[in-house]
Amino acid sequence: MDRFIVTYRIRADDAADAAGRAEAIALEDTVEIPRDVVPKGYVEDTILGKVLDVVEGGDGVWIARIGYHIDAVGRELPQLLNVVLGNASILRGVKAINLTPNADLRQRFSGARFGAAGLRGLIGRETGGFVCPVIKPQGSSSETLARLCYLTAVAGADIIKEDHGLANQDAAPFRERVKLCAAAVLQANSERAQTGETSRALYFANIGGHGDHVRDLAYYAKDAGADGVLLIPGLFGFDAMNRLAQDPEFGLPIMAHPSHLGPYVLSPDNGYGHGMLFGQLMRLAGADISVFPNYGGRFGFSREECQEIVEHCRETDGLGPIILPSPGGGMSIDRLGDMVDNYGHDCVYLLGGSLLRYGDDIGEAIRDMRAALSD
């Protein structure tokens, strides 16, 4: 295949309209000029998107596949997204629902560094789902947050995730907070090791600060002892995540947070399909763990949409290694059984605000989670 393929769901009046709209997308996302002025030769033959087929999908919707050449992209992820859904994101009734990589795309965007297997190795837990408390709320001091890190880590958590709203506010500035939290998890891991426990807790620091400081902040976190970072591609850009993932010197796993990305999936007629955004694009951009709001919580994803995300995180012919899905958003321990039935063990189970109800007994909640997620 000399082209990678994007599949679009197009709302149209009839087959001719659908075909015309597919051709319009192919123009819009590459040359962005009227068809009659596309220069002959290289621009028309290689750069211009190529409509492969347009098939009726029922209910006024058509499914179009468009092939794009890597030459229209270059080597940087922002321009890849321009080609996949840049200006077409502004067209009414156009939703990108699938990405089929080719060898060119795989070569330039190699995906996650660790993936599901790599993370299981880092944590040292051979079986069972991953217990992931979320440390919050913002406004707490660094010491308070670090204590929550310690209490959950020593009780057996697998991943300690900072809340995505812990940025760089005065109450707990990034550098101070990360230093204390990393030290707290290190201490807890050392105590766990003394009991003969072979698994360890990984501390994921939330990158909070300016976009052009992401690399510096991530390296600071690493040097302070963090085991991974949480990043919000909807605010910092997907390329910010990919640059860390593709940096062999950095070499820590990355958890992607869905904040600010809602509008890309909530409309049936615009943006991305759930699986494409939270599965395929997160993998392509280098996330090892993709956080998304679970069905039945505060957010409006359906069970089927969540399932689609998980399938794309795990599809074996996807881009790079398979990664860990991570459902969260208003979950509670009594729902974990149902969630494990649905998502299985290669999954990071988030539990946030409701853990705070346990106060100093938060370790009990972690042990309850562990029990619910074990074989």
Subset of 354-373 contacting a second copy (CB under 8 A): 354, 356-357
Nearest distance from C-beta of residue 120 to a second copy, angstroms: 28
What is the token pair recorded at 322?
Answer: 């398979």
| Residues within window 180-219 making contact with a second copy, judged by CB under 8 A | 208-212, 214-215
Q: Which residues contact 324 (CB under 8 A, 6 or more apart)?
A: 115, 116, 119, 130, 288, 289, 290, 313, 346, 347, 348
Q: Shortest distance, CB of residue 173 to a second copy, whole angstroms?
A: 8
The residue count for binding a second copy (CB under 8 A) is 88
For a second copy, which residue of 11, 164, 179, 222 counts as binding (CB under 8 A)?
A: 164
Q: Which of residues 29-68 bind a second copy (CB under 8 A)?
A: 29-34, 36-39, 42-43, 46-48
**Site string (61-100) toward a second copy, x via CB under 8 A:** ----------xxxxxxxxx-xxx-xxxxxxxx--------
Stretch that binds a second copy, among 55-63, 229-237, 303-311, 317-325 (CB under 8 A): 229-237
β-pairing, 289-293 vs 254-256, is parallel
Query: Within positions 248 to 267, which residues make up the interface with a second copy, using CB under 8 A?
Result: 258-264, 266-267
The widest CA-to-CA distance across the chain, in whole angstroms, is 73
Binding to a second copy, residues 281-320 (CB under 8 A): 293, 298-300
Smallest separation, CB 52 to a second copy (Å): 20
Record the tokens describing residue 63, joined without a space.
């499914």
Q: Which of 199, 270, 280, 290 binds a second copy (CB under 8 A)?
A: 270
Measured from the CB atom, is 300 or 337 closer to a second copy? 300
How far apart are CB 349 and a second copy at their closest, in Å? Answer: 17
Asked if residue 185 lies in contact with residue 160, where contact means CB atoms within 8 angstroms, the answer is yes
> Smallest Cα–Cα separation from 297: which of 255, 343, 351?
351
Question: Nearest approach, Cβ of 174 to a second copy (angstroms)?
Answer: 9
Give the integer Cα–Cα distance in Å for 265 and 297.
Answer: 17
Q: Answer whether 257's CB lies under 8 Å from 241's CB.
A: no
Helix 238-245 with 77-85: angle, nearest 10 deg: 140
Query: Which amino acid is it at 19?
Result: A
**Which CB, 210 or 303, lies closer to a second copy?**
210
* C-alpha to C-alpha distance for 55 and 60, rounded to whole angstroms: 11
